[in-house]
Every structure is written in structure tokens, then in C-alpha cells.
Amino acid sequence: MLAAPAATATDRHRPELQERLDDPVERWLPGVVPDGDRITVRHRLNHTSGLYDFRLTIPLPSQEFLHNRWRTWTAAEQIQRAVAHPPTSEPPGNAFGYSNTNYVVLGEIVEEVTGRSYGEEVKRRIIRPLQRQQTTVPGRSPWIRGPHPHGYAPLEDDGGFRLVDFTEMNPTLFGAGGELISTAKDLQRFFAALLDGRLLSDHLLEEMKTPGDPSRSYGLGLAWRDLSWGVRVYGNDGDALAYQSWSFATEDAVDAFLEEAFCG
């Protein structure tokens, strides 16, 4: 995931070439975002980049969205919608502000570094090795495979509200910021693999646990909560229109489960 010297144009797509957390975005995506020479990969991952969230430019749910629920969105479109707005904080690294645009930009960096889309890298590095059979990167496919609950959202209509089934839509709306489809079981297995060192080296996992804004319990895409009885859990939440998920685990998830089962 990280390290390596500066790349030349001819070796950017070498499989062994890996990204550094403190590389400026400008190195990989010249001219794509304002102040790209000051905003780093780390700022994107810990949401201190100050980049406006493109999601806020799209009214959800609304009649406008309902009429465009099948359209395909590109990363370039989403980034342009974001950079049309001023930064939410200055300078980069100064304050936490969650932005889906950060993940869209990171997805573009993944493609530039590896020569493959972020979706292919997620499959290659996480889904297949961990055998997460119920986790998919749908791309443009609007359907959820297998049994699943339908998602409904209220839509204003003639001065009132009606519930609309938003289960089927083109997931490129969320892109690298949240189009992944999974299950509670697969999410728990993912966090177990992450926290026990099967996905990252120890020093990279420690980076994920380091907050960019000391006032927040949020590192590099990883959040944590200290429970009332003194246990810390790590994970994150995720949402799409009409759906919400939460998944957290302890670092010693198996031991904690056995202790609860046998000791109450």
C-alpha cells in the first residue's frame, strides 16, 4: 500500500510500485484538485483535506435524483462538482471534515499507481484473499445479488411525503466513496482480518489508528469508540441512499467473544 521512491512516467504501473502517505495529490493527479501540492494522501484518508463533499451537491432523495437514478457518474464529474466550492477548512490538515470526494480522488490515485481500477484492487487485495463471497464492487450494475432488504426513503410530493423504493439505482453515484455491497458477516470478517494483521503490517495499522485531528476518534479510514466498560472497538459506519451500516470489532475479537460466551 505504501513506500517506494518517486516514480517515473514509465514505471508508474509496475505492480510493486506502492503509494506513500505523504505524497502530494499533485504528484499523481496533476491539476485535478486545487492546492494539490499541499494536500497529501494522508489528508485524504483522515478527512482533513478540506475538499468539499460532492455528495452535498446532489439532492437526495428528490424528484431530480429519481429521474436520474440510472445515469452513470464519473469520478471526474464528482470531483468537478466538489472543487466548484471553496475548501471547508484551511490549511489542509487543519481540521476534520468528512468528504466522499476524498475517496473518489483516492480511487483515481489507485488507478494511476497500479494501472487498475480501485474496484479491481479491492477485489485482488481484499475480497479474493479473504474469500468474502458476499462482498461485491457493482460498478454500474443497479442490482443487489441474493436476498436483501429493500431500501426506502421519503420523497416530497404534492406538499406531502411518500416512501419510494430506492433499492435499485446506478451505484456510480457513490463511486469509490461507497458503492461496495457487503453483508454484516463479511464486514465483521474484514475488520477481524484488518485488526489481527492479515491485511496490513503493524506500522501501517498503527497509521490507520492515528487521528489527523486530535479531537476526533478517526484515523485513516478507521474509527474507534471507547465503550462505557473500558473496551475500545474499531470499525466504521457506511451509508447509501436508504441504507445504513455499522461494523465495529475489538482488537482481540475472538478472545472477547469467548470470554462473553463462557464468563458472561
C-beta separation of 243 from 151 below 8 A = yes
For residue 5, pLDDT beyond 50: no
Which residue is associated with the grid cell 469509490?
176
pTM, two decimal places: 0.85
Give the mean pLDDT of 164-191: 92
The residue count of the chain comes to: 264
* Helical ranges in 46-114 per DSSP H: 63-67, 75-83, 100-114
Q: What single-letter DSSP state applies at residue 123?
A: I
pLDDT digits (tens, 9 = 90+) for 181-218: 999 999 999 999 999 999 998 999 999 999 999 999 99
Residue 240, strand partner residues:
243
pLDDT digits (tens, 9 = 90+) for 54-97: 999 988 888 888 888 999 999 999 999 999 999 999 999 999 99
Rounded to whole angstroms, the Cα distance separating 177 from 118 reads 11
Alpha-carbon 247 to chain mean position: 14
13 to 111, 114, 233: CA distances (angstroms): 9, 5, 37
Give the mean pLDDT of 240-264: 72
Contacts of 54 (CB under 8 A, 6+ apart): 78, 79, 81, 82, 99, 100, 101, 104
Q: What is the structure's pLDDT at 12?
A: 43
C-beta separation of 212 from 96 below 8 A = yes
Q: How big is the chain by its Cα radius of gyration, in Å?
A: 19
Higher pLDDT, 261 or 135: 135
Alpha-carbon 138 to chain mean position: 15
Higher pLDDT, 224 or 158: 224
Q: Give the torsion through C-alpha atoms of 113, 115, 116, 117, to 10 deg.
A: 60
CB-CB neighbours of 222 under 10 Å: 21
| Helix, strand, coil % in the chain, rounded to nearest 5 | 35, 15, 55
